[in-house]
Chains A and B, each alone.
Chain A
Amino acid sequence: MIVTERAPGRPAPPTHTPVIVVDQAEARLGGRAIWSDVSLQIGPGQFVAVLGPNGVGKSTLLKAVLGLLPVSTGQIKVLGGSPGRHNDRIGYLPQRRAFDPTTRIRGIDIVRLGLDGDRWGTPLPAILGGRRARDARERVEEVIGLVGASGYARRPIGQCSGGEQQRLLIAQALIRHPELLVLDEPLDSLDVTNQASVSSLIRDISRTRNVAVLLVAHDVNPILPYLDQVIYLAHGGAVMGPPEQVITADTLSMLYGTPIDVLRDRAGRLVVVGQPDAHAEHRR
């Protein structure tokens, strides 16, 4: 079931080629369908959240978009090609724990790997590098400045806080000036202040550089004001649409086939009540 109408008053969807098109796709893992009959479309510069309970296949969707996992039926097109074909134009931040505190490598080195880490060979010492190396260094500094990580980029990454690590990894994802950012729970393990500042950072980048963002979130509230679309995943399908149409009792109850309530607290935050976890649903 797909909901694609847009709320009145929102800008019309961009007319140029979409960044991601998913057409009736199904993903299978370990012999069972994680989700099926999923169709989506994401345009340039759109800020889209992927929501849903644990284990429902949000990370799987991102991996399918990156071509790390083939879909069993249906089709996905990313930046006009098959998934994985244009990954050099995509910035990716996988779901992860923090780096081990004893990891002895600097944040700036990790950011730099995002630029040319896939090239064979050994980087030359800075003095022998010439112009190309100077350009690369400038780009690293620029992107570290952009995410506000200059103060700790030269510390071993294991000694940076969760929020600092996340900013450095976002810098790594941004360094090739991507047209699409694929972020798997970037706000997870951040405190409320950092959640707010990292999400507004991502929004600003999306706006100023016209970068489409596909972001998995556990809690929609920190990003709710910025969202163009949300994708709600459930076992067997997905719903996509503007947040105020999708995160409603009716749509979610229909998607999950059980009664679900969406409540709003005094601060305007959304709370989804009665949402089954993926395993309970699987038993059904």
Chain B
Amino acid sequence: MTTGLTWNLIEDAHQLFSYHFMVNALRAGTIVAVVSGAIGYFMVLRRQSFVGHTLAVIGFPGAAGATWLGVSTGIGYYGFCLAGALVVASLPGGGRADVGPGGHGEESAVVGTVQGFALACGFLFVSLYKGFLSGLNNLLFGTITGVADHQVTILLIAGVTCLLVLAVIARPLLFATVDPDVARAAGVPVRLVSAAFLILLGVAAAGTSQITGSLLVFALLVAPAAAASRLTARPGLGVTLSIAIAVAVTWVGEGIAFFSPYPIGFWVTTLAFAVFLAAAGCRAGADWLARRVSLDVRTAA
């Protein structure tokens, strides 16, 4: 950025908050991190990361097309991501979670094909809109300078709605995720809940794309959730941890991006990756210790 780091944290924070774009970036980043931390936890548990990534990539032609037509990119992101979610939900597998028996290899082939086509369309729109090329990086890898006031409002409304719906469906969604057959017998509308979750995932992917760019949504959608589920097997604690990690990574990433010449997508992704590695390390260590202890107990007995 244009400003220098003084290493006086209060002074630096003061400097950071004196820029309106930076305040907006932090607001938007916080909203997005909370939503993707929560939705991401369920996405990882349902093994639908591939679908999540595809929905984010589908947002790219949406945003590129919106720029080409001169409308807000937010409209493009949300429109395309939601449309993509509806399409995946209507596929024969219905976005069924991959945990239970019978995965959906065919569905992932279809989803992958759609992903490729979406990227191609995005590049077409970019080249149709000449002189847009500098914005391409922002769409794919994120930016902190481009968040306008109205965009924060849209993110907030979408995010709050998304979290409210998640709060209503959370328990049956968890049931349908880990045990779809029993959930169906117990009266959970599994298909409906799965479709609703895909739409929430579309909203989360669209929001996250606006901060990290379409290609780096995993920094907030997957890494925090994957780290959290390695640290705990309790669903409630898992969601909380996932949100906390996503928010922390976003704040620190945006802070560093403000003082460094490198883009926000890079910083947020790198930090998220570091947290994930640390969590994976903790898990491996804990498992090793548990094995040692049980081995000792068995030898002692």
Contact = CB atoms under 8 A, between A and B. Distances in A.
Interface of A: 66, 68, 87-88, 90, 92-94, 96-97, 99-100, 103-106, 109-110, 113-114, 116-123, 125, 155-156, 172-173
Interface of B: 45, 99-101, 166-172, 174-175, 178-179, 181-188, 229-230, 233-236, 238
Contact of B235 (A97, A109, A155): A109
The SS class assigned to the A binding surface is loop
B181 A96 contact: yes
Contact of B182 (A94, A97, A99, A120): A94
B167 A105 contact: no
Contacts of A114: 182, 186
Chain B CB within 10 Å — which of A92, A110, A113 has the most? A113
| 4 nearest A-B pairs in the assembled complex, by CB-CB distance | A117-B175, A94-B181, A122-B170, A156-B233
Contacts of B187: 87-88, 118
A153 B233 CA distance: 11
Contacts of B171: 113, 116-117, 119-123
20 contacts: A87-B185, A88-B186, A94-B181, A94-B185, A104-B229, A104-B233, A105-B233, A110-B179, A113-B171, A117-B179, A117-B186, A118-B186, A120-B171, A120-B172, A121-B167, A121-B171, A125-B236, A155-B233, A172-B179, A172-B182
A276 B171 CA distance: 44
Given A87-B185, A87-B187, A156-B233, 19 more contacts: A92-B181, A93-B182, A94-B181, A103-B178, A104-B45, A104-B229, A104-B238, A109-B174, A113-B174, A113-B182, A113-B183, A114-B182, A117-B171, A117-B174, A117-B175, A117-B183, A123-B171, A172-B179, A172-B182
B182 A105 contact: no
The SS class assigned to the B binding surface is helix
A144 B266 CA distance: 47
Contacts of B167: 121-122
B170 A121 contact: yes
B236 A106 contact: no
A150 B167 CA distance: 30
